[in-house]
């Protein structure tokens, strides 16, 4: 394990004379009341809602977090945004709904699903009419359960809700305060947790830069926003490297990533998924994202990650994982069948006979022995340290 505190990196950057960026970024979620009723439920419960919306979330990659923060200097303050939201709610007369709030936040393509849930739970506290801490905690628990049941196959959504509940309500000191001040402290913690979650990619990108050296070749699989942030920062730092992107069938997420890297003038080569072993001798490292990080230190990610890890391990290539801490989940899969299935539609381009069975699982499990390091906003961790971090997070 390398640096234990991400704030060390931020403080070091400021002391070395790097221009400061605003510490907080509050963007009011877009409101589209006409579409709220349509998006209240998963339109196709047989397919994971995450993979239904994956294309719309990854097809457009806007400017990075630092650029957004720089542009946010002229944005209204948190208090102004909250008061405007209260006025809008009072004028419409519509009761607060955590699913509607969540769907509004999800419309931002660069906002992770777990962060959207965290922002929505913070709004639950602000809009609550509870008069006691017990009522507020019950209301928050119901909202968290509603979000988790919206898509039961999303690991990051469940983990984000659970971590939010632990972070916000785990102090016993709240029992000895009056309700008004206790609620204010809960709102403070909720906003702070949301800000930490939004900064996670920026911290991970900074921590991972020492591992990307001039002349290296990086193999990536699928489209990961945190991996894209790592590569974008490396390109901005004028590092010379090239990237091999797997095609990422059937949704062609690797093609989207290669297009974004080409816009940054990064040398990129697109591979068919079955060419991983063929090109691995040219690769210096593998860098992937994760849908979830489990207690064993392994990861659950897009289908094909496991076989890439096996090939990299057999050829002594380092396998790096970039994942935010809100994806740390209290799961311990023993094999591929221990996970809840997350299904996605598959189009082979030709008609498939009805008697032919098609595997529709969208992700696989990679055991920790095939991973080298995990780049997280908690630091650079070895897989064996993940269980200790999970204990600290959920205490």
pLDDT of residue 308: 95
Could you give the 3-state DSSP secondary structure of residue 383? helix
Higher pLDDT, residue 332 or 191 = 332
User: Please, which pLDDT band fits residue 16 given cuts at 50, 70 and 90?
Assistant: low
How many angstroms separate the most distant Cα atoms in the chain? 66
User: Please, which pLDDT band fits residue 75 given cuts at 50, 70 and 90?
Assistant: very low
Q: Are 98 and 146 in contact (CB under 8 A)?
A: yes
What percent of the chain is predicted at pLDDT more than 70? 72
For 343-382, how does the pLDDT look when each residue is reduced to its tens digit (9 = 90+)? 666 767 778 888 888 877 788 999 999 999 999 988 899 9
Instruction: For 76, list phi and psi in degrees, rounded to 5.
Output: -65, 160
Higher pLDDT, residue 188 or 374 = 374
Pairing of strands 285-288, 268-271: unpaired
Higher pLDDT, residue 306 or 173 = 306
Q: Are 331 and 370 in contact (CB under 8 A)?
A: no
pLDDT of residue 184: 79
What is the Cα gyration radius of the chain? 21
The three-state DSSP-derived secondary structure of 258-270 is: HHHHHHCCCCEEE
Residue of 158, 299, 296 lying closest to 221 (CA atoms): 299
Token pair listed for 264: 């940054």
The position carrying tokens 């590569």 is 231
Mean pLDDT of 33-57: 45
Token pair listed for 56: 């719309």
The DSSP element (H or E) to which 14 belongs, if any, is helix 6-15
Range of lowest pLDDT (75-79, 232-236, 309-313)? 75-79
Query: Which structural domains are found in the chain, ordered by start?
Result: 207-342+353-394 (3.40.50.10470)
Rounded Cα distance, 114 and 155, in Å: 9
pLDDT of residue 73: 35
Q: How far is CA 225 from the centre of its chain?
A: 8
Rounded Cα distance, 126 and 140, in Å: 11
Token pair listed for 1: 């394990």
Higher pLDDT, residue 357 or 245 = 245
pLDDT of residue 55: 40
pLDDT of residue 39: 40
Q: How far is CA 295 from the centre of its chain?
A: 17
219 forms bridges with which residues in the sheet? 244, 286
pTM here is: 0.69
Mean pLDDT of 310-320: 95
Rounded Cα distance, 198 and 374, in Å: 19
For 264-276, how does the pLDDT look when each residue is reduced to its tens digit (9 = 90+)? 999 999 999 889 9
pLDDT of residue 393: 67
What percent of the chain is predicted at pLDDT more than 90? 28
């Amino acid at each position: 394990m390398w640096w234990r505190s991400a704030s060390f990196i931020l403080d070091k950057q400021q002391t070395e004379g790097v221009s400061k960026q605003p510490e907080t970024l509050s963007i009011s979620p877009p409101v589209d009341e006409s579409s709220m009723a349509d998006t209240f439920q998963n339109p196709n419960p047989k397919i994971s809602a995450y993979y239904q919306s994956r294309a719309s979330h990854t097809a457009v990659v806007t400017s990075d977090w630092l650029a957004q923060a720089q542009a946010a200097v002229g944005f209204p303050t948190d208090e102004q945004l909250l008061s405007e939201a209260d006025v809008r709610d009072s004028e419409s007369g519509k009761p607060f709904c955590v699913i509607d709030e969540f769907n509004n936040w999800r419309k931002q393509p660069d906002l992770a699903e777990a962060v959207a849930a965290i922002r929505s739970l913070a709004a639950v506290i602000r809009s609550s009419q509870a008069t006691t801490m017990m009522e507020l905690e019950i209301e928050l628990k119901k909202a968290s359960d509603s979000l988790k049941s919206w898509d039961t196959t999303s690991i990051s959504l469940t983990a984000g809700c659970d971590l939010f509940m632990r972070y916000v309500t785990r102090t016993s000191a709240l029992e000895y305060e009056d309700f008004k001040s206790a609620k204010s402290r809960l709102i403070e913690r909720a906003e702070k947790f949301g800000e930490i979650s939004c900064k996670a990619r920026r911290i991970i990108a900074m921590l991972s830069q020492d591992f990307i050296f001039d002349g290296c070749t990086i193999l990536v699989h699928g489209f990961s926003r945190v991996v894209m942030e790592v590569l974008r920062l490396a390109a901005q730092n004028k590092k010379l490297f090239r990237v091999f992107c797997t095609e990422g069938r059937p949704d062609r997420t690797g093609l989207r990533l290669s297009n974004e890297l080409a816009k940054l003038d990064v040398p990129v080569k697109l591979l068919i998924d079955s060419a991983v072993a063929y090109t691995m001798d040219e690769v210096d490292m593998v860098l992937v994202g994760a849908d979830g990080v489990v207690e064993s230190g392994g990861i659950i990610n897009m289908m094909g990650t496991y076989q890439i890890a096996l090939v990299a391990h057999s050829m002594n290539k380092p396998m790096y994982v970039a994942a935010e801490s809100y994806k740390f989940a209290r799961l311990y899969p023993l094999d591929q069948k221990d996970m809840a299935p997350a299904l996605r539609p598959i189009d082979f381009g030709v008609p498939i006979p009805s008697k032919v069975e098609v595997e529709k699982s969208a992700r696989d499990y990679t055991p920790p022995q095939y991973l080298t390091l995990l780049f997280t906003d908690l630091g650079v961790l070895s897989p064996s340290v993940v269980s200790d971090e999970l204990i600290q997070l959920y205490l």
